Chain A
């Protein structure tokens, strides 16, 4: 009995040694940290990849590859031909997509290989590049570090500061496929070889680039979406005539700490109507003009609320005009008015453009710092 047992163990061990196909030593592989997809001048699909170089004796510690291919899988074979180790894509941190590419076609079919392979990460950040992707790969990294890490850190940091949404691949794909959303992705720009986050760009349901908003407007959009981490910083220009001040000094900044949103969904005349009641709990962090807050405690609140209402309306109108729904009103439409939704399901974005959206903001100021 014991002998048999030992025999089987020996047998098993020999079998083990004979094959273990998945071994892949970390230092011997080229790990793609950054993947770029773009169209070149002749409208051919170009793929870029940046991998870290582990050898500490080499001066440049990352490696950039550029290939022309019809699909990502095909591109990988070419990457393999270009690199020392075997190319792996399980740790892609960032996927950069050129604006030109997004204006021409949807990126989804090109990402299929990543979505299909369970070894690949779904939390890669998807970013649009306002300009050619190649600029990012040529960007000046001498004072920063490895390209893939730097870009990732930039995006993560902006995300944590509350000015862009979480740009992960899973969410992007979910929004892209969902009938109730249209996707949005952060946009980056390269100015004088220095990369920077530019704002949020909106894609249509078909995956094509539609429009974008600047980094100063994006927090407003996020607060409307009830998205929050720790804080969302909002800076406003106060247009109210209650403030007597020069134009350049009519600015106020708040940091939103908590958001409560109530949405009432009704059907009026065959079209959707959304009444949004937004309660923002925020700290006042900056006020550049004089206001006797001790005397008129409600006044400051009111002028901010008015301004917020105005800004929100502007953003909503922008999305309605472009027939995109990044805020996700479709979620309410389906949840609350299912019967009507069923009828317009496939043309929701046209319907959204016709919907009437009322928004009223309530501001609760928690802290005002050490002064009124």
Chain B
């Protein structure tokens, strides 16, 4: 009841309600823009009190306003003070008493209904929100084969419900913060109290409080404002739309951020290797999951460096490849008029364009773009002698390898890293590639996520973490939480030693 106390303190300011209903309504017109959806319903209650119910018709649930609020107020209620008493007589979950205009404004904009009562200095706020909602759907970006098929939606309460269904622990702490001066958004910080390292909670809270912006519309925006290094292309936090993977991260000892109107959850701190885990890994056979993880690791390297390697071989170190391969590369290159780097960049850009084009178009058209683009580039360009067969293969393998990385942000980062790699290796051959990879990994190692080394588990080496990093050992063997998280309870199975 802190808010109540604050209101008492501010009694003398002019932000307070007036006692006269008409004055209040006039004041309301001034403060709240008079859009067509602002409803001001003035009437007499059964107990002959003059009241006005104010709400935005676009933001409320009309059924509950009409049936559960207006009807009892008009025909059943004797005295409005009963509304706050112990035997609450209307079927509305939450009723608050306010004295301050600011609270009223906020409430109206959030879709609550405000009841002004003549000759009183307070107003009542009823929780009647109801806005356009999307039903729970299968996650689009992180679809899974075996795990749950529910994804987050744009409503905070539902997202919270989805997580709570996985983690029904009384130690699950949820802290509320709000952000944005102009358009306020609610943010929830979730963590498991006796597992998480408290430093993470302090750090992320401090960072959120530092954000000073008129509006933060999406978690992605928030991520950029609170991450350790915004100048890198690598994501340092995980943005996920899967409640099960969020729950699993919570249980590992990570902190989760939910934000109203964002169909995602942000997980922090993350390590590089954690981006290559997928929730499906844990529900499939461990041998298969291990294979898939190694495949992802391989594709991470392929996606970054295969075109670069190809360029450096055919423009510097032809000695590296066996003779027969060299001859077929030579034959396929013989008609191409461009140097390899130009050829590669041409193809890469074509593929990136295709990908972006397909992404924004409706599904059937998107597929057509893919087919047309694939055929034109794959066949005609080779026939015309603009690119070589082998370059087409290299570029497509690279593109496919990029898709294997389960996280969208990470896959985008890797996609972009490819270009500097290609340029440097067209200048220095395989030495350039090696130095390029070195710079890249030095960069990755220098990154931190909430103060945790991003490259944790391989630099610094924590061999026990490898059980769930590059491979997935049987669940029986994975007894501990990741070392990098320094959780309070390091064990997940068996007794604490």
Contact = CB atoms under 8 A, between A and B. Distances in A.
Interface of A: 2, 16-17, 20, 22-27, 29, 31, 33, 52, 54-56, 88, 90-91, 93, 119, 121, 146, 148-149, 152
A297 to B, nearest CB: 47
Contacts of B323: 33, 91, 93, 148-149, 152
Given A52-B327, A93-B323, A149-B324, A23 B333 contact: no
B315 A25 contact: yes
Contact of A29 (B318, B339, B429): B318
Interface residues of B, number: 24
B484 to A, nearest CB: 29
Given A16-B427, A20-B428, A26 B331 contact: no
Interface string B420-447: 0000101111000000000000000000
B8 interface: no
A33 B318 CA distance: 13
A57 to B, nearest CB: 9
Nearest to A149: B323
B334 A27 contact: yes
A16 to B, nearest CB: 5
Contacts of A88: 318
A23 B315 contact: yes
Contacts of B225: none
B49 to A, nearest CB: 65
A2 B335 CA distance: 44
Interface in B319-359: 319, 323-324, 326-327, 329-331, 333-336, 339-340
Q: Secondary structure of the A side of the interface?
A: loop
B275 to A, nearest CB: 26
Contacts of B318: 24, 26, 29, 31, 88, 90-91
Choose among A2, A23, A24, A26 the residue with the greatest number of B CB atoms under 10 Å from its CB. Answer: A26
Contacts of B330: 26-27, 31, 52, 54
Contact of B333 (A26, A52, A119): A26
Contacts of B340: 25
A54 B331 contact: yes
Nearest to A16: B427
A25 B339 contact: yes
A121 to B, nearest CB: 7
A176 B335 CA distance: 44
Contacts of A146: 327
A370 B291 CA distance: 43
B327 A56 contact: no
B316 interface: yes
Given A16-B428, A25-B340, A90-B319, 6 more contacts: A2-B231, A24-B315, A27-B333, A52-B330, A54-B327, A54-B331
B314 interface: yes
Q: Secondary structure of the B side of the interface?
A: helix
Given A20-B427, A54-B333, A119 B315 contact: no
Contact of B326 (A2, A16, A26, A119): A26
B156 to A, nearest CB: 37
A134 B327 CA distance: 24
A62 B318 CA distance: 18
A93 B424 CA distance: 30
Contacts of A2: 231
Choose among B231, B324, B427 the residue with the greatest number of A CB atoms under 10 Å from its CB. Answer: B427
Contacts of B336: 27
Contacts of B315: 23-26
Contacts of B334: 27, 54-56
Contacts of A20: 427-428
Interface string B300-328: 00000000000000111011000110110
Contacts of B426: 23
A93 B140 CA distance: 54
B319 A119 contact: yes
Contacts of B428: 16, 20
Nearest to A56: B331
Nearest to A91: B319
A170 to B, nearest CB: 15
Contacts of A17: 427
A26 B424 CA distance: 18
Contacts of B331: 54, 56
A16 B429 CA distance: 12
Contacts of A148: 323
Given A54-B333, A54-B334, A56-B334, A23 B327 contact: no
20 contacts: A16-B424, A23-B315, A23-B316, A23-B426, A24-B315, A24-B316, A26-B329, A26-B330, A27-B330, A29-B318, A31-B326, A52-B330, A54-B330, A54-B333, A54-B334, A56-B331, A56-B334, A93-B323, A149-B327, A152-B323
Nearest to B424: A16
Interface string B269-307: 000000000000000000000000000000000000000
Nearest to B334: A54
A88 B329 CA distance: 17
B314 A25 contact: yes
A149 B340 CA distance: 25
A24 B315 CA distance: 5
B326 A91 contact: yes
Contacts of B429: 22-23
A90 B428 CA distance: 18
A29 B314 CA distance: 11
Interface in B171-202: none
A88 B318 CA distance: 10
A13 B326 CA distance: 30
Contacts of A90: 318-319
A54 B314 CA distance: 14
A54 B326 CA distance: 10
Contacts of A91: 318-319, 323, 326
Contacts of A55: 334
A121 B330 CA distance: 19
B209 to A, nearest CB: 26
A149 B314 CA distance: 19
A152 B429 CA distance: 28
B345 to A, nearest CB: 14
A17 B428 CA distance: 11
Contacts of B314: 25-26
